[in-house]
């Protein structure tokens, strides 16, 4: 008997990997061993828990440690997977050189911070050597229950091979799923360590992506969410130029009833001519997820983001003019090194322009392997706290005003949950797990777009917010 569960930490790209893993284990090559997946990792029936980790930020690596300790307290045997584990496996001369440069050029001793964190992790593993195991991509290519029970240690996490098989569609019940079209990243953003953890971009061929899209629709998925670390650079690793629109045009021609949205559109490679192409796509949801990070040109240069302020305005103006029903989301990093008072004010003024329907705010802090950690002119802690309160209040007020406008309009959305007297609805353009949902009384439902007229999960309905 192999009773297992899984916890996914971090991004939706990690979630896709977790879904492939669940299916791989459920269809493992040992017919004599019964395999059961149990959703609740803390259930008394669960013996093994797979923990898919995030290693992008120290706070998320800390979340991994806290989750590990919680599972161990519950008596579980744990397999650790991917990003945070790979962070602690970085031992190349090039990585150590980067850390060494940080130590020399920064007021902080980042080498010591990295080694201290790594040593703590290794000591933790030694203390729990019979209960915590590292799992590699190589192991997963030849997975079997017998092999899992023998336990082993990590070697390599580099190959993006899972899409050769099918996966467990854990979100199909809610009518949507994520379609990962590439792994890794070719960018060199100064604050980011993803290329070190997930390596350079590796794109999937169009035919494989189309086949998975067909699999999704055959499993009742109505909305496909296209993701990768940098979606706009799809196929640039194979053909030296992006092929995202080649993929979208073929996806759009599939003769099924579904829609799709795209996450992570970077304006440095998407031109206004590209935006024109979006207008011709029938199944495309006009949802623009654009991680700008800042608006000040000097800060953007220090971030190694290759677009300027004037182009950002042209880009957003074009969307507003040509997609009147669009939803625009972005995120900003606050108090990045060299963010002067003037640069911060420019960011506040930019928010006041009212381009965005949702804004995520991230607090900058130094990561040992990130190039930005060696930048001088860090923002003082007191200034940091003051700026965060100012910008978060501004964002909250902006989004509250937008919600008040929505209350005066008839809404369309997908049913996500049915409670005793209310239902939880995701507005049509809002992205799952990112944007807010509405909780409304049954009496405020105006129309149900199905044949029975009875409300069910993933139904498309018209409703009013009261």
What does the pLDDT read at residue 175? 92
Reported as a single tens digit per residue, the pLDDT across 438-462 is 999 999 998 888 767 788 898 999 9
Averaged confidence pLDDT in the chain: 86
Residue 35, class by beta-carbon neighbours within 10 Å (0-12 exposed, 13-18 middle, 19+ buried)? middle
Chain-centre distance of CA 184, in angstroms?
13
Q: Which residue has the higher pLDDT, 314 or 379?
A: 314
| Side-chain-facing half-sphere of 300: CA atoms under 13 Å | 20
CA 311 to CA 317: how far, in whole Å? 10
pLDDT at 106 over 50: no
Among residues 93, 97, 88, 92, the alpha carbon closest in space to that of 116 is found at: 88
Q: Considering the entire predicted model, what is its pTM?
A: 0.89
How far apart are the two ends of the chain, measured CA to CA in Å?
51
The whole-number pLDDT of residue 2 equals 85
Q: Do domains 2-150 and 162-406 have the same CATH topology?
A: no
Residue 192 tokens, joined:
């980011």
Q: Which residue has the higher pLDDT, 365 or 300?
A: 300
Quote the pLDDT of residue 210: 94
Give the rounded percent of residues in the chain with a pLDDT score beyond 70.
Answer: 88
Under a CB-based contact definition with an 8 Å cutoff, are residues 227 and 180 in contact? yes
Strand order in the sheet with 411-418: 438-441, 422-427, 411-418, 460-463, 445-448
Q: Which residue, among 79, 56, 57, has the nearest Cα to 67 in the 3D structure?
A: 79
Task: Look at residue 204 and give its three-state secondary structure.
Answer: coil
Q: Which CATH architecture has domain 2-150?
A: 3-Layer(aba) Sandwich (3.40)
Task: Tell me which of 3.40.50.12780, 3.80.30.20, 3.40.50.10420, 3.40.50.720 is the CATH number of domain 162-406.
Answer: 3.80.30.20
Q: Is the pLDDT of residue 80 over 50?
A: yes
Q: Who has greater pLDDT, 426 or 113?
A: 426
Q: 225 versus 196: which is more confidently predicted?
A: 225
For the chain, the structural domain boundaries read 2-150, 162-406, 411-463
Note the pLDDT of residue 281.
97
């Amino acid at each position: 008997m192999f009773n297992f569960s899984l916890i996914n930490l971090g991004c939706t790209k990690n979630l896709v990997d977790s879904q492939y893993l669940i299916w791989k284990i459920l269809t493992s090559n040992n017919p004599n061993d019964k395999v059961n997946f149990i959703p609740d990792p803390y259930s008394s029936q669960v013996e093994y828990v797979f923990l898919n980790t995030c290693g992008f930020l120290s706070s998320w690596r800390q979340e991994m440690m806290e989750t590990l300790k919680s599972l161990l307290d519950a008596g579980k045997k744990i397999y650790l997977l991917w990003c945070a584990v790979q962070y602690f496996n970085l031992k190349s001369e090039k990585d150590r050189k980067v850390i060494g440069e940080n130590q020399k050029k920064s007021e902080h001793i980042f080498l010591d911070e990295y080694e201290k964190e790594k040593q703590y992790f290794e000591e933790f593993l030694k203390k729990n050597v019979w209960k915590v195991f590292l799992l590699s991509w190589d192991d997963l290519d030849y997975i079997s229950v017998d092999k899992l029970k023998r336990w082993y240690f990590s070697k390599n996490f580099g190959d993006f091979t899972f899409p050769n098989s099918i996966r467990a569609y854990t979100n199909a019940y809610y009518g949507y799923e994520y379609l990962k079209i590439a792994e890794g990243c070719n960018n060199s953003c100064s604050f980011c360590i993803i290329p070190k953890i997930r390596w350079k971009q590796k794109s999937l061929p169009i035919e494989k992506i189309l086949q998975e899209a067909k699999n999704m629709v055959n499993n009742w998925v109505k909305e496909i969410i296209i993701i990768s670390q940098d979606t706009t650079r799809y196929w640039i690793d194979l053909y030296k130029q992006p092929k995202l629109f080649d993929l979208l045009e073929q996806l759009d021609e599939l003769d099924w009833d579904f829609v799709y949205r795209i996450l992570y559109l970077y304006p440095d490679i998407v031109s206004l001519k590209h935006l024109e192409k979006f207008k011709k796509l029938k199944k495309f949801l006009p949802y623009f997820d654009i991680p700008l990070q800042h608006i000040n040109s000097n800060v953007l240069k220090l971030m190694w983001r290759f677009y300027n302020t004037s182009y950002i305005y042209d880009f957003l103006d074009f969307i507003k003019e040509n997609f009147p029903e669009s939803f625009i989301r972005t995120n900003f990093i606050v108090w990045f090194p060299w963010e002067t008072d003037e640069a911060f004010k420019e960011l506040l003024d930019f928010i006041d322009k009212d381009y965005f329907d949702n804004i995520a705010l991230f607090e900058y802090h130094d990561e040992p392997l990130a190039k930005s950690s060696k930048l001088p002119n860090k923002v003082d802690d007191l200034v940091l706290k003051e700026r965060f309160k100012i910008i978060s209040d501004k964002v909250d007020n902006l989004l509250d005003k937008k919600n008040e406008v929505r209350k005066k309009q008839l809404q369309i959305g997908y049913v996500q949950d049915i409670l005793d007297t209310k239902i939880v609805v995701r507005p049509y353009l809002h992205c799952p797990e990112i944007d807010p949902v509405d909780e409304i009384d049954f009496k405020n439902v105006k129309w149900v777009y199905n044949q029975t007229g009875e409300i069910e999960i993933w139904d498309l309905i018209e409703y009013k917010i009261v």
